[in-house]
């Protein structure tokens, strides 16, 4: 059992207009096996939360804490976070010239576990995971993210999740740019990886449609850098019919 605990997290970024506070007190606890959906309007700080957990250097934590099983995540380097079992799906969004998907995955697995996986079982594992995600075997020999379509990028992310077997996976907008078939395949991949590893999942999304395939245990509505409301799956249904207006409307004057 693992617990990712975020307490009263405040995060700023440097912009041309100066320092801007984006996260304004986020508190959230995720246990192994749980799926938490973070939903919210564009610009509410959802990706900032993901980047802050992953340790992106652009985001400065000014107060609050993040711990994984009591260990101070904020004191860890990005690599240490990955070794501790944190996985961020958009961790490697850049093209990596000259590095094939196959080599990249093996290097990542070695970095996370501390030893190179046995080649024979590894090749089999990669092949199996790719079949599950309906990926052409040729994909393994392509360079990472070079000319990947949106759908290929997302499949590659979930392929990483399946193979790296993290304790906690943070999936940011995994549904964006996917058609319904791809969405189903990618969602099945997440569910399979979850089932296999018992990972906790933080699923960040703007739309409710992915939640038809990956059922959340908890839904958090994210507005203006903090959680405005939390509930169960029924909250997602409400958001689908009502949108975010209710949360964005100015408070009535008394």
Site for ligand ADP in 9-68 (CB under 6 A): 13, 15, 22, 40, 42-48, 58
Q: Is 215 helix (H, G, I), strand (E, B) or coil?
A: coil
Backbone angles phi, psi at 174, to 5 degrees: -60, -20
Closer to Mg ion by CB, 101 or 202: give it.
202
Calculated CA dihedral for residues 225, 226, 227, 229, nearest 10 degrees: -90
Residue whose beta carbon is closest to Mg ion = 47
Among candidate residues 130, 186, 205, 194, the one with its CA nearest the CA of residue 166 = 194
Give the residue with the Cβ less far from ligand ADP, 39 or 129. Answer: 39
Q: Which does 58 bind (CB under 5 to 8 A by kind): ligand ADP, Mg ion, none?
A: ligand ADP
Stretch that binds Mg ion, among 37-45, 61-69, 73-81, 100-108 (CB under 5 A): 37-45
- Beta carbon nearer to Mg ion, 10 or 46: 46
Are 53 and 89 in contact, with CB atoms under 8 Å apart? no
- Residue 40 touches which of Mg ion, ligand ADP, none (Cβ within 5-8 Å per kind): ligand ADP
47 near Mg ion, rule: CB under 5 A:
yes
DSSP H or E segment with residue 168: strand 168-172
Structure tokens at 38: 């973070």
Interface with Mg ion (CB under 5 A), residue from 15, 17, 42, 121: 42
The answer to whether 176 contacts Mg ion (rule: CB under 5 A) is no
**Dihedral angle sign, alpha carbons of residues 187, 92, 64, 12:** negative
3-class state of residue 98 by DSSP: strand
Q: Does residue number 176 form part of the binding site for ligand ADP (CB under 6 A)?
A: no
Residues at the site binding Mg ion, with contacts judged by CB under 5 A: 42, 46-47
Q: Contact positions toward ligand ADP, by CB under 6 A?
A: 13, 15, 22, 40, 42-48, 58
């Amino acid at each position: 059992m693992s617990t990712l605990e975020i307490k009263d997290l405040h995060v700023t970024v440097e912009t041309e207009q100066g320092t801007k506070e984006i996260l304004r007190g986020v508190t959230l606890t995720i246990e192994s096996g749980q799926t938490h959906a973070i939903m919210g309007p564009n610009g509410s700080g959802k990706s900032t939360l993901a980047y802050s957990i992953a340790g992106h250097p652009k985001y400065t934590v000014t107060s609050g804490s993040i711990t994984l099983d009591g260990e101070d995540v904020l004191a860890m380097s990005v690599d240490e976070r990955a070794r501790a079992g944190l996985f961020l799906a958009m961790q490697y969004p850049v093209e990596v010239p000259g590095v094939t998907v196959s080599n990249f995955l093996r290097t990542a697995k070695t970095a996370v576990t501390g030893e190179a996986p046995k080649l024979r079982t590894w090749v089999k594992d990669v092949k199996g995971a790719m079949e599950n995600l309906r990926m052409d075997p040729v994909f393994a020999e392509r360079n990472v993210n070079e000319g990947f379509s949106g759908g290929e990028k997302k499949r590659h992310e979930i392929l990483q999740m399946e193979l790296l077997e993290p304790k906690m996976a943070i999936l940011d907008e995994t549904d964006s740019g996917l058609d319904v078939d791809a969405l189903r395949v990618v969602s099945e991949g997440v569910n399979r990886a979850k089932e296999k590893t018992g990972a906790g999942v933080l699923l960040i999304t703007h739309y409710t449609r992915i939640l038809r395939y990956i059922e959340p245990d908890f839904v958090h509505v994210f507005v203006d850098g903090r959680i405005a409301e939390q509930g169960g799956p029924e909250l997602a249904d409400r958001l689908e019919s009502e949108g975010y207006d209710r949360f964005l409307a100015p408070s009535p004057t008394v």
